[in-house]
């Protein structure tokens, strides 16, 4: 099956940019997603990118996709303490079905 890898921890200062990286193995994945999870809560979809795009920007969020290297990143500009959470990278299974493979999550800690 798909293997989605991401680093486990990232710490940044408030106001700095955060960059969370992800790699995946299944080249047939058509959509790649970033989810946010706050403590004890479910997942919230932040953004997604279609595999034929290389960049998507949505307010403070920028997603970069290098399809050749199967590398995805999420940049959060002007990171705030409220951005502290676990961020999951996810990839679909390359078919018409919407079930996802998830990475292990990156714990983002923002210091004031």
Closest distance of CB 82 from other proteins, Å: 18
Contact 61, 76 (CB under 8 A): yes
Span from 53-61, 62-70, 72-80, 95-103 in contact with other proteins (CB under 8 A): 95-103
Tell me: does residue 34 bind other proteins (CB under 8 A): no
Tell me: does residue 96 bind other proteins (CB under 8 A): yes
What residues contact 110, with CB distance under 8 A and at least 6 apart? 11, 12, 13, 14, 18, 79, 80, 81, 82, 83, 84
DSSP string, 68-109: TTTEEEEEESS--GGG-EEEEEEEE-SSS---EEE---EEEE
Tell me: does residue 1 bind other proteins (CB under 8 A): yes
Tell me: does residue 68 bind other proteins (CB under 8 A): no
Closest distance of CB 106 from other proteins, Å: 11
Residues near other proteins (CB under 8 A) are 1, 4, 8, 30-31, 40-45, 48, 50, 88, 90, 92, 96-105
């Amino acid at each position: 099956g798909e293997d989605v890898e991401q680093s486990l921890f990232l710490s940044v200062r408030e106001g700095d940019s955060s960059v969370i990286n992800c790699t995946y193995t299944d080249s047939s994945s058509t959509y790649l997603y970033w989810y946010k999870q706050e403590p004890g809560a479910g997942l919230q979809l932040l953004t997604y990118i279609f595999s034929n795009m290389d960049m998507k920007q949505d307010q403070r969020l920028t997603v970069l996709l290098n399809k050749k290297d199967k590398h995805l990143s999420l940049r959060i500009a002007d990171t705030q303490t409220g951005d502290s959470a676990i961020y999951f990278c996810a990839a679909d299974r390359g078919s018409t079905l919407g079930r996802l493979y998830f990475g292990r999550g990156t714990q983002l800690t923002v210091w004031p």
